[in-house]
Amino acid sequence: MSESIQHKIEQLREELHQHNYNYYILDEPSISDFEFDSLLKELQNLEKEYPQYDDPNSPTHRVGGGITKNFPTIQHQFRMYSLDNSYDFEDLADWEKRIEKTLEGESVEFVAELKYDGASISILYENGKLQQAATRGDGFQGDEITPNVKTISTVPLKLKGDFPERFFMRGEIYLDRKSFDKINQSREAEGLDPFMNPRNTASGSLKLQDSTEVRKRNLTAVLYQFISDKLPAETHWELLENAKKWGFKVSEDHAKLCKNLKEVQDFINYWEENRHQLDFDIDGIVIKVNSLQQQQRLGYTAKSPRWAMSYKFKAEKVETLLEKVSYQVGRTGAITPVANLSPVLLAGTIVKRASLHNEDIIKKLDLHEGDYVYVEKGGEIIPKIVGINLEKRDLFAQPIHYITHCPECGTELVKLEDQAAHFCPNDVHCPPQVVGRMIHYVSRKALNIENLGSETIEQLFREGLVKDISDFYHLSKEQLLPLERMAEKSAQNIINAVEKSKEVPYEKVLFGIGIKHVGETVAKKLAKNFSSIDELKNASVEELTSVEDIGEKIAQSIVEFLNNPENWEMIEKLKSYGVQLVRGENSQEVISEVLLGKTFLFTGKLSLFTREKAEEMVEKHGGKNISSVSKKLNYLVVGEKAGSKLKKAKDIGSITILDEQQFLDLIGNKS
């Protein structure tokens, strides 16, 4: 019986490995996603029932699940070198001359490959199984990130065919543009800042602690180098072909075997022109000597192989007319100048606008009206102006004068010493700022009114249906229905969600009403120390600053906000609708009294929980947090790299020092 179970499990694994290969490497799926998922489910169930047959390379391990706190450092058995760079064909010709000299005039074949713009990786295979994966690090040692790499579908967990017993595959992990956009879309929906570019996102993803999250990022791995003590072939090209047969996605897919440098140049020219047709980013071409025996004779410099060369594409730059500078007012009141350009093709997309960031940048460029500007697209997504064609400047052209008043509401702009941007101080009436506060109010961490999106809010504001956040509470279905793309059902959902937000606790409402400098943490502290918004309104700056973590600036801002008659009127309205502006019982939820009368302080880098969470736990168990080490302190909980506080506590002697786990044990919490 058990033998047949084991056999069944192995058979399922084989089948799933093969389907994975068909789908991701050959791009020829032979079953539907649904069938694949059912097979996977079946395997998962069997493995759960018979854990004695588990295998770290089972396809079920791809879905992630493990948490890695610290990635161990490992030595690379074979050093991971950099590549020498070249920027034009002359550099390449020089390189060829150097090679010919060493090889005494032998003819040389080259392999030209794409230079994938991601993070390099080294993966060890033993007996056809993925053993270990590591980042490049400094080339001598890197971080072991095996669980994260296993989640990448294009990385085979088990090889097929006639593979060598032990070897490393080197390659690049990258994020295709579609997956990158998808990640950013969902980040924006969650109110998070978008990531800058696919490369950084790919390398950042490899270091995520939760491998389930890595899986969601949808990374790709392409392998371009085989390394071992024994070489099972004579040329690099053959090695790539073999690797493909064993189940790898290899660089050969977009590479060319070139008889001479002329063919290399054609390849470069082709991709420099057509790189935007790829669905991922490349930043150049890598050229390698094909013969492994020749590679060996050429050897290495201190930093890079002499048998390989990278050819870097120039950052793309075009010239176009600056039509005008316009100014956007952000949701926080910050002003961003934008260059409106005559449309021009750059890096595969039509560019019409470029950010100018702030007044200093405009001054530094010495931008004039009607200038012809150079626009460049580097690794970033938003193009930027890098210079001006002065030859084309009109003799009478005027320098760009920065605006002095808000284009949305006409208020005079202010600029703080320590900030680069100007902003509009009219936070109560400036339209984008009002809308910004409404969007903040409904966001997940505030009142969490899910069904009310930013577009709907903008429409409601434009139509005059809501003037401030309290107006959400008297919206009717009849008012909503005429809006664009508003169906009966979504209108009802909005009404329901608004109604439900009346149950959201006081501390979240405090965060949601958008007092400047009052973030989530400060709102919590305020709610704990002032039991209602009325009490908060009556508090003086001195009373406010006596609360831990609340400084002068925050206190001022609170007093100003709550004493502004219009704001207070809005708050009165919120109260009348039943929004929670008084502390409820459940916001001071008590779990136990084990820490009653005890004081706590956390120091160092915590890894099991955040400081905020820790302090919350202390309170929920009856303890108190204090902010400095003194005789009054009972417990100091130390994370990694604790410094002076730990030393001081030891000196005092009466303080109990705990690590994070010991703290959890103390409150009887294993999570």
Decide whether 408 or 468 has the Cβ nearer to Zn ion: 408
Interaction between residue 172 and ligand AMP (CB under 6 A): yes
Look at residue 295 and give the partner it binds from Zn ion, ligand AMP, none, a contact being a CB closer than 5 to 8 Å depending on partner kind: none
Q: 82: Cβ–Cβ under 8 A, 6 or more apart, which residues? A: 139, 303, 304
Interaction between residue 113 and ligand AMP (CB under 6 A): yes
**Subset of residues 383 to 422 that bind Zn ion, contact rule: CB under 5 A:** 406, 408-409, 411
Q: Measured over all CA atoms, what is the biggest interatomic distance in the chain, rounded to whole angstroms?
A: 92
Interaction between residue 135 and ligand AMP (CB under 6 A): no
CB of 313 to ligand AMP, least distance (A): 11
Number of residues that bind ligand AMP (CB under 6 A): 11
Count of beta carbons in the 10 Å neighbourhood of residue 485: 8
Where would I find the H helices in 443-517? 454-462, 477-480, 488-500, 506-512
Site string for ligand AMP, 310-329 (x = CB under 6 A): x-------------------
Interaction between residue 224 and ligand AMP (CB under 6 A): yes
Q: How many residues does the chain have?
A: 671
Decide whether 83 or 373 has the Cβ nearer to ligand AMP: 83
DSSP per-residue letters across 606-638? -SSS-HHHHHHHHHHTT-EE-SS-STT--EEEE
Site string for Zn ion, 590-609 (x = CB under 5 A): --------------------
Give the span between the Cα atoms of 374 and 394, in whole angstroms.
Answer: 16
Interaction between residue 428 and Zn ion (CB under 5 A): no
CB of 416 to Zn ion, least distance (A): 16
The residues annotated with a catalytic role in the active site are 115
Decide whether 116 or 248 has the Cβ nearer to ligand AMP: 116
Among 83, 250, 258, 424, binds Zn ion (CB under 5 A): 424
Decide whether 224 or 511 has the Cβ nearer to ligand AMP: 224
Interaction between residue 615 and Zn ion (CB under 5 A): no
Task: Find the part of the chain contacting ligand AMP (CB under 6 A) among 6-14, 114-122, 289-297, 364-372.
Answer: 114-122
Give the span between the Cα atoms of 632 and 642, in whole angstroms.
Answer: 20
Decide whether 142 or 436 has the Cβ nearer to ligand AMP: 142
CB of 89 to ligand AMP, least distance (A): 19
Decide whether 113 or 468 has the Cβ nearer to ligand AMP: 113
SS3 of residue 88 by DSSP: coil
- Comparing every residue's Cβ against ligand AMP, the nearest one is 120
Among 82, 340, 532, 556, binds ligand AMP (CB under 6 A): 82
Give the span between the Cα atoms of 260 and 111, in whole angstroms.
Answer: 10
**Structure-block tokens of residue 648:** 């001081």
CB of 252 to ligand AMP, least distance (A): 10
Q: Which of 575, 565, 443, 557 is nearest to 502 (CA)?
A: 575
Count of beta carbons in the 10 Å neighbourhood of residue 597: 9
Decide whether 379 or 578 has the Cβ nearer to ligand AMP: 379
**Do 234 and 226 touch, CB atoms closer than 8 A?**
no
Decide whether 409 or 667 has the Cβ nearer to Zn ion: 409
Give the span between the Cα atoms of 145 and 159, in whole angstroms.
Answer: 20
Give the span between the Cα atoms of 567 and 572, in whole angstroms.
Answer: 9
SS3 of residue 152 by DSSP: coil
Decide whether 252 or 619 has the Cβ nearer to ligand AMP: 252
Count of beta carbons in the 10 Å neighbourhood of residue 512: 27
Among 184, 205, 251, 567, binds ligand AMP (CB under 6 A): 251
Look at residue 358 and give the partner it binds from Zn ion, ligand AMP, none, a contact being a CB closer than 5 to 8 Å depending on partner kind: none
What Å distances lie between residue 138 and 170, 217, 513, 606, CA to CA? 15, 25, 48, 26
What Å distances lie between residue 640 and 339, 625, 658, 661, CA to CA? 47, 20, 12, 12
Task: Find the part of the chain contacting ligand AMP (CB under 6 A) among 23-31, 112-120, 508-516, 560-568.
Answer: 112-120
Site string for ligand AMP, 285-304 (x = CB under 6 A): -x------------------
Give the span between the Cα atoms of 228 and 222, in whole angstroms.
Answer: 18
Look at residue 470 and give the partner it binds from ligand AMP, Zn ion, none, a contact being a CB closer than 5 to 8 Å depending on partner kind: none
Look at residue 376 and give the partner it binds from Zn ion, ligand AMP, none, a contact being a CB closer than 5 to 8 Å depending on partner kind: none
User: How many CA atoms are closer than 13 Å to the CA of 107, on its beta-carbon side?
Assistant: 4
Count of beta carbons in the 10 Å neighbourhood of residue 502: 14
Q: 347: Cβ–Cβ under 8 A, 6 or more apart, which residues? A: 276, 316, 377, 383
Look at residue 449 and give the partner it binds from ligand AMP, Zn ion, none, a contact being a CB closer than 5 to 8 Å depending on partner kind: none
Look at residue 406 and give the partner it binds from Zn ion, ligand AMP, none, a contact being a CB closer than 5 to 8 Å depending on partner kind: Zn ion
Interaction between residue 334 and Zn ion (CB under 5 A): no
CB of 447 to ligand AMP, least distance (A): 46
CB of 172 to ligand AMP, least distance (A): 5
CB of 539 to ligand AMP, least distance (A): 55
**Structure-block tokens of residue 378:** 């580097």
CB of 427 to Zn ion, least distance (A): 9
Give the span between the Cα atoms of 199 and 175, in whole angstroms.
Answer: 7
What are the backbone angles phi and psi of residue 421, rounded to the nearest 5°?
Answer: -90, 150
Decide whether 292 or 385 has the Cβ nearer to ligand AMP: 292
Among 24, 36, 95, 116, binds ligand AMP (CB under 6 A): 116
SS3 of residue 116 by DSSP: strand
Q: 194: Cβ–Cβ under 8 A, 6 or more apart, which residues? A: 184, 187, 188
Decide whether 286 or 579 has the Cβ nearer to ligand AMP: 286
Edge-to-edge strand list for the sheet holding 85-86: 85-86, 308-312, 282-289, 110-116, 256-258
Axis-axis angle for helices 431-442, 454-462 (nearest 10): 140
CB of 134 to ligand AMP, least distance (A): 13
CB of 83 to ligand AMP, least distance (A): 4
Interaction between residue 252 and ligand AMP (CB under 6 A): no
Number of residues that bind Zn ion (CB under 5 A): 7
Where would I find the H helices in 354-464? 359-365, 431-442, 454-462
Interaction between residue 86 and ligand AMP (CB under 6 A): no
Element (H, E) at 574: helix 565-577
Among 58, 60, 86, 120, binds ligand AMP (CB under 6 A): 120
Give the span between the Cα atoms of 433 and 183, in whole angstroms.
Answer: 27
CB of 118 to ligand AMP, least distance (A): 7
SS3 of residue 126 by DSSP: strand
Where do contacts with ligand AMP occur on this chain (CB under 6 A)?
82-83, 113, 115-116, 120, 172, 224, 251, 286, 310
Where do contacts with Zn ion occur on this chain (CB under 5 A)?
406, 408-409, 411, 424, 426, 430
